[in-house]
Amino acid sequence: MKRILVCEDEDSIRDFVVINLRRAGYDVVDVASGEDAVEVYKTQNGNFDVALLDIMMPGMDGFALCRWIREQSAEIGIIMLSAKSQEMDKINCLMTGADDYVTKPFSPSELVARIDAIYRRVSQSKAPKEESKIIKAGPFMVDGESRTVRKNGELIELTQVEFHMLEYLLKHKNTALDRKSILRHIWGDSYVGEDKVIDVNMRRLRMKIEDDPSSPKYIQTVWGFGYKWKDD
């Protein structure tokens, strides 16, 4: 069963979201505050595939909740709900650890499509692979079966989106990949979000794997096009 944690303090919006997600086949647990979300997450032993979090909440806001959940799990998909549409607000959502964001107001079909895209990626990450596929590149070793990444033997914690981005780049070493192809590979053909989600997730990935993220050695930007992995 597809399980999702919904945290939204406005009753009308939360009820609207819950109804539409249940119609789409999700097992929904909904709460009205960040503090309640933490308690539910603990009592449920983190047994969620996706978390949908509102940003503006009294007490523990969505940013703090997102950071807390991400500390518990790199695998869970996190989507932020934001009433703000400014570029910096969207970037802040993703840099906090979210995989995607949805701006209010939103249509039920758009919301479900975005959640479905994240859920597909999470479920693929959990599914066992038929054979182990280890990719080595310079100091990195990426294990597709265990979903682990090591640099010089040291484990690097990546979210499921960051992992699949890295794996995709490594499978196409020294090849420029356009943003649309990366978006389709990670989120699927039905994704209706913005390309910005690629740029911010790449920035997060660089911060975790590059010696100097401001001057990346491995993940190269191809200006006006996309990204490529530069092999040693």
pLDDT in tens, the chain (232 residues): 799 999 999 999 999 999 999 999 999 999 999 999 999 999 999 999 999 999 999 999 999 999 999 999 988 999 999 887 677 777 888 888 899 989 888 999 999 998 998 898 888 766 655 555 789 999 999 998 788 899 999 999 998 889 989 999 999 999 999 998 998 888 777 666 677 888 989 999 999 999 999 999 999 999 989 999 998 6
Q: What is the CA radius of gyration of the chain?
A: 18
CB neighbours of residue 65 within 10 Å: 27
Q: Do the beta carbons of residue 117 and residue 183 sit within 8 Å?
A: no
The last residue of a domain, from among 81, 97, 126: 126
Structural domain of 95: 2-126
27-77: per-residue pLDDT in tens?
A: 999 999 999 999 999 999 999 999 999 999 999 999 999 999 999 998 899
**Burial class for 128, CB neighbours closer than 10 Å (0-12, 13-18, 19+):** exposed
- Same domain, yes or no: 114 and 17: yes
DSSP 173: T
Give me the chain's average pLDDT, please.
90
Is 1 strand, coil or helix? coil
Domain end among 89, 109, 126:
126
First-to-last CA distance in the chain?
A: 43
Residue 44 DSSP symbol: T
9 and 116 belong to one structural domain: yes
Q: How many domains does the chain have?
A: 2
Q: Are residues 165 and 106 in the same domain?
A: no
Q: What CATH number has the domain bearing residue 54?
A: 3.40.50.2300
> What pLDDT is recorded for position 187?
79
Q: Are residues 74 and 187 in the same domain?
A: no
Model's pTM, two decimal places?
A: 0.78
Single out the residue in 74, 106, 126 at which a domain terminates: 126
What long-range pairs does 219-222 form, CB within 8 A, spacing at least 24?
Answer: 219/169, 222/176
Distance between CA atoms of residues 89 and 168, nearest Å: 27
Using the CB atoms, write b or e for 160-183: b if 16+ within 10 Å: bbbbbbbbbbbeeeeeebebeebb
Helix (H/G/I), strand (E/B), else coil: 83: coil
Q: What is the predicted pLDDT for the residue at 47? A: 94
The answer on 119 and 48 residing in a single domain is yes
